[in-house]
């Protein structure tokens, strides 16, 4: 079922329930009002008969006179019946209009009437009242019953009016509900129409949010933000593919051109040795690039990664040794802060190989771009977090460059002369994010460049679980 039909049905159902409750309430309270009004009429008749009977006494003449009075006033109460009981609950007078059966009330009703003064009850679809009349001459119970013709007719007319109003109200509710649902669904249909025309080629085409600040407006704005992120992702993906293709084709072109030139004529052993050495360097460059690309791809598949508790201090010791082993010119200074008493506070839950790769890349970059090829690493522990700082002195990183250095293949103008692919920092950031950590950069001429990594310890993760 379409939403607009659901809205129409719900709206009509709600209106129907409200109208039903109102109609039933009006009918119920009107019925109570009819009973109270008719009780007053019955009580008046019972009081009059009681006064006359008490005044005239219990005799045949008084009964005949009272019967004449009741007959003369029969038109005021339809299907009237009157019974008078003495103090011993014996019937001493009866009157029945036409073929109406006489009233035979229970003794319990007479007893309650003497206690409560009057008791209302129904008999044979007629309203009846047992009225206890007392004065200095007699103590009698007058029972009067009659059919409320006018009252029941008014109730019937009211019921017909309420039913008519109910059906008219339901019809109006259906029409108004449908019109309301059409207006409500209209912006949704516009959103559907706009979404159908959005493809990977025109992600700049946004949904018209409208001027109202409602949930649909928020939905449209949220979807537009998603489109912006998708567009940015596609741009980064295209740029990544373009840069990766370029970086892979450059050494291949170099190898191909060197081999073609070498094959044009015979060369000396020394020349062959130079070509082989150059090709070997190009192959090593391709291998390093391919390895970096595979590691970046690996960070996007968390499901297949083996996780365990890792001591970051041991990883940093290995990083320090391997970076300095890689180049005699590189120097790494490693400092540890005070270790917490709880071992869980300096353990990190993650993949040791990926963490090593991340920290190794940042340390390599620190040495590579430092004036003295030196990087200082400081390991700290604060608030159940493991903090790693890499500090070096080289060309400062501007705020504009800070926004791009974590993008694959991005290389600043100052970094262009230095050999590299621009994949180390993006890989490091992905790995840190995978381990629910953060990485920040602060750079100034006086303080140098500081990369700060904050990783939650095993203790912090256990506290959040």
pLDDT, tens only, 216-238 = 788 888 888 888 878 777 776 67
* Mean pLDDT for the chain overall: 83
CA dist., res. 123 & res. 119, Å (int):
13
Name the more confident of 440 and 102. Answer: 440
pLDDT of residue 404: 67
CATH homologous superfamily of domain 3-155? Answer: PAS domain (3.30.450.20)
* Structural fold of domain 303-464: Heat Shock Protein 90 (3.30.565)
Cα→Cα distances 86→54, 127, 369, Å = 10, 22, 123
Residue in the block written with tokens 């009703």: 109
Contact between residue 75 and residue 87 where contact means Cβ atoms under 8 Å apart: no
Other residues' Cβ atoms within 10 Å of the Cβ of residue 454: 18
Q: Is 449 helix (H, G, I), strand (E, B) or coil?
A: strand
Closest CA to 113 of 90, 127, 132: 132
Extents of the domains making up the chain? 3-155, 215-298, 303-464
Contact between residue 194 and residue 209 where contact means Cβ atoms under 8 Å apart: no
Which CATH number does 215-298 carry?
A: 1.10.287.130
pLDDT range class, residue 298, cuts 50, 70, 90:
low
CA 47 from chain centre, in angstroms, equals: 69
pLDDT of residue 32: 93
Q: Please give the structure tokens belonging to residue 169.
A: 């109200």
CA dist., res. 358 & res. 457, Å (int):
17
| CATH topology match: 3-155 vs 215-298 | no
pLDDT of residue 211: 66
Cα→Cα distances 37→1, 118, 143, 148, 155, Å = 51, 15, 17, 10, 13
Contact between residue 105 and residue 132 where contact means Cβ atoms under 8 Å apart: no
Does the pTM surpass 0.85? The reply is no
What backbone torsions phi and psi does residue 441 show, to the nearest 5 degrees? Answer: -125, 130
Bridge partners for 146 per DSSP? 127
Bridge partners for 336 per DSSP? 379
pLDDT range class, residue 251, cuts 50, 70, 90:
low
pLDDT of residue 325: 85
Cα→Cα distances 464→333, 384, 456, Å = 34, 12, 10
Torsion of CA 21, 22, 25, 28, to 10 degrees: -110
pLDDT range class, residue 17, cuts 50, 70, 90:
very high
Cα→Cα distances 436→164, 300, 457, Å = 67, 14, 10
pLDDT of residue 245: 66
Contact between residue 458 and residue 344 where contact means Cβ atoms under 8 Å apart: yes
In terms of residues, how long is the chain? 465
């Amino acid at each position: 079922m379409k939403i607009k039909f659901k809205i129409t049905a719900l709206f009509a159902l709600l209106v129907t329930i409200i109208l039903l409750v109102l109609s039933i309430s009006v009918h119920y309270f009107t019925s109570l009002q009819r009973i109270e009004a008719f009780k007053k009429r019955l009580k008046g008749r019972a009081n009059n008969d009681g006064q006359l009977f008490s005044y005239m006494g219990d005799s045949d003449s008084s009964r005949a006179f009272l019967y004449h009075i009741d007959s003369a006033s029969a038109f005021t109460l339809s299907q009237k019946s009157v019974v008078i009981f003495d103090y011993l609950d014996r019937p001493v007078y009866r009157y029945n209009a036409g073929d109406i059966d006489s009233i035979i009330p229970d003794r319990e009703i007479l007893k309650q009437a003497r206690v409560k003064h009057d008791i209302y009850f129904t008999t044979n679809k007629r309203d009846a009242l047992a009225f206890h009349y007392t004065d200095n001459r007699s103590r009698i119970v007058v029972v009067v019953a009659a059919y409320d013709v006018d009252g029941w007719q008014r109730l019937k007319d009211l019921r017909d009016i309420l039913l008519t109003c109910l059906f008219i109200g339901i019809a109006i509710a259906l029409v108004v509900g449908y019109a309301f649902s059409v207006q409500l669904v209209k912006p949704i249909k516009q959103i559907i129409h706009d979404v159908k025309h959005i493809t990977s080629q025109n992600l700049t085409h946004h949904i018209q949010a409208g001027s109202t600040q409602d949930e649909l407006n928020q939905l449209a704005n949220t979807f537009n933000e998603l489109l912006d992120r998708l567009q940015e992702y596609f741009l980064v993906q295209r740029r990544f593919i373009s840069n990766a293709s370029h970086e892979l084709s450059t050494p291949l072109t170099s190898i191909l051109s060197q081999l073609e030139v070498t094959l044009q004529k015979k060369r000396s052993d020394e020349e062959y040795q130079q070509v082989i050495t150059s090709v070997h360097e190009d192959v090593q460059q391709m291998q390093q690039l391919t390895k970096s690309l595979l590691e970046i791809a690996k960070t996007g598949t968390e499901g297949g990664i083996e996780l365990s508790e890792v001591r970051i201090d041991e990883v940093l010791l290995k990083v320090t040794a391997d970076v300095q082993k890689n180049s005699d010119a590189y120097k790494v200074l490693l400092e540890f802060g005070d270790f917490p008493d709880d071992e869980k506070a300096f353990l990190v839950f993650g993949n040791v190989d990926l963490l090593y790769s991340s920290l190794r890349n940042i340390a390599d970059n620190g040495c590579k771009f430092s004036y003295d090829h030196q990087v200082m690493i400081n390991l700290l522990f604060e608030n159940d977090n493991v903090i790693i700082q890499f500090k070096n002195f080289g060309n400062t990183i501007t705020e504009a460059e800070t926004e791009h250095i974590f993008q694959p293949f991005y290389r600043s103008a100052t970094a262009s002369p230095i050999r590299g692919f621009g994949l180390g920092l993006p890989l490091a950031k992905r790995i840190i994010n995978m381990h629910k950590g953060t990485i920040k950069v602060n750079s100034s001429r006086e303080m140098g460049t500081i990369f700060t990594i904050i990783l939650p310890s095993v203790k912090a993760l256990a506290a959040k679980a």
